[in-house]
Structure 1
């Protein structure tokens, strides 16, 4: 069954089946993580848990191990025993990396220098469903120390990869997912970053803690005033010819598109 896109995604460790159901209840889409969240010694048990405790495949993604990992073959054998159709591939670096997952909807994770350079090629892969970028793995791959400044802002190279991932995904008609917010108690900072993600054009944002999901949902959900404006603009567009004025502003094709997107996010 195909994944049905929604904006608020949540990671859960694959070796914690006791958290699966709660994660599914609290988020739009759950990512069962077999990579960073699970120690090598626990990966086999995590695979068994994913088989034994199935979730709704239209709202679940499995993050497998990287293309060059010794664990990927076993991950693929496990997937064949499930109904899951969506897979997150970490450290995606070339379009060809996705061919081993040809039967799946792939969320390609851009988190290395090579992946960032080849991001458009990855986005063009036929089975690329969405692109996400990862800040800390990226900085580690570059040999740096932190993706953010002391003030909490992303460094320029992280901003560049964030923007490049968004541009490549949207240019090829794929969904774009913003990276996690790592400062768990700082919900105000998360709200600001999630709002920027929405206004920049990201399709959703991934979280590592359940408390982040409502913040992300609020950011992606239009306010009553935004929805009122958008619906009024679209209603007028049905009777007007060409550009027209509304509430003192000229409404043309780009603003009509904004209105359509606002209404779509309200669904």
Structure 2
């Protein structure tokens, strides 16, 4: 099964679709901009946001439009507005199953699995041919559970959020689509964001979503391998060229999985 190639990342920046004055700035600052028709826009501002979207002219190759959930009355109008633009990549909020994607067959889709149903259906959603990525979200997930906090007082995710993150990542990898890590809502906590983005990169996430321009460079730096790590990856791949399937390198055993990890590091350095 062939999915659309994922070309967004590693730093994807949300921008309210009812703030066209911010479109160009967000587009310039990030690797991709997510023009948001959902949570960032109040109900009475949705119509104006759609008109602003239609009037915009950003490069479609770096734009994703987040639409309201398929179960809401806003969804059909959101899809009609996108159809009137050159944008062809949709992020579907609160995607809960393959039926939610029926009206999006003409678009590339990033499915946002951020409810209990969505997380449990992540693998089936990822298998749909026009899906290029899965993203997860902690706050809506916990709300869907009847909870009130996705994190412990020290900032660590609670177990159910960590489980959802892992499940979405596994579903994306199993179907060869990109996984996108959730936003870090505490804007001033750049150290916490850096730690989460470094962990995301190490695990194989393709991108991390941002809610503020100050987060963009932190995410980019986190996804870029250190000079030492890149040197190791290049050296171990060079040592493996034409050699045996398993060998010792700088005191460690190297086999095929380790070589694939080294290849991933080199790709991130040039991504």
What range describes the TM-score normalised by the shorter chain of this pair?
A: over 0.9
TM-score, normalising length: structure 1: 0.97
Q: Do 2:127 and 2:175's aligned partners in 1 also have CA atoms closer than 8 Å?
A: yes
**Is it true that 1:117 corresponds to 2:132 in the alignment?**
no
Q: Do 2:5 and 2:132's aligned partners in 1 also have CA atoms closer than 8 Å?
A: no
Q: Do 1:2 and 1:85's aligned partners in 2 also have CA atoms closer than 8 Å?
A: no
Q: Do 2:9 and 2:208's aligned partners in 1 also have CA atoms closer than 8 Å?
A: no
Q: Do 1:98 and 1:127's aligned partners in 2 also have CA atoms closer than 8 Å?
A: no
Of residues 7, 25, 45 in structure 2, which corresponds to 1:4? Answer: 7
**Is it true that 1:91 corresponds to 2:89 in the alignment?**
no
Deviating 4+ runs (over 4 angstroms) = none
**Is it true that 1:175 corresponds to 2:175 in the alignment?**
no
Superposition RMSD in Å? 1.3
How many angstroms apart in 1 are the aligned matches of 2:266 and 2:163? 29
CA shift for structure 1 position 5: 2.9
Partner of 2:231: 228
**Is it true that 1:80 corresponds to 2:83 in the alignment?**
yes
Q: Do 2:109 and 2:130's aligned partners in 1 also have CA atoms closer than 8 Å?
A: yes
**Is it true that 1:244 corresponds to 2:254 in the alignment?**
no
Partner of 1:37: 40
Partner of 1:193: 196
How many angstroms apart in 1 are the aligned matches of 2:7 and 2:192? 28
Partner of 1:160: 163
Of residues 60, 63, 71 in structure 2, which corresponds to 1:57? Answer: 60
Q: Do 1:47 and 1:78's aligned partners in 2 also have CA atoms closer than 8 Å?
A: yes
Structure 1 residues 2 and 162: CA distance shift in structure 2, 3 A: closer
Q: Do 2:17 and 2:49's aligned partners in 1 also have CA atoms closer than 8 Å?
A: yes
Long gaps (5+) in structure 2 = none
How many angstroms apart in 1 are the aligned matches of 2:100 and 2:54? 25
Partner of 2:215: 212
Alignment map for 1:145-156 (pairs within 5 Å):
145-156=148-159
SS in 1 for 2:134: strand
Could you report, residue by residue, the CA deviation over 1:70-100 in whole angstroms, capped at 9, with x for unpaired residues? Answer: 1111111111111111100011111121121
Q: Do 2:6 and 2:132's aligned partners in 1 also have CA atoms closer than 8 Å?
A: no
CA shift for structure 1 position 2: 7.7
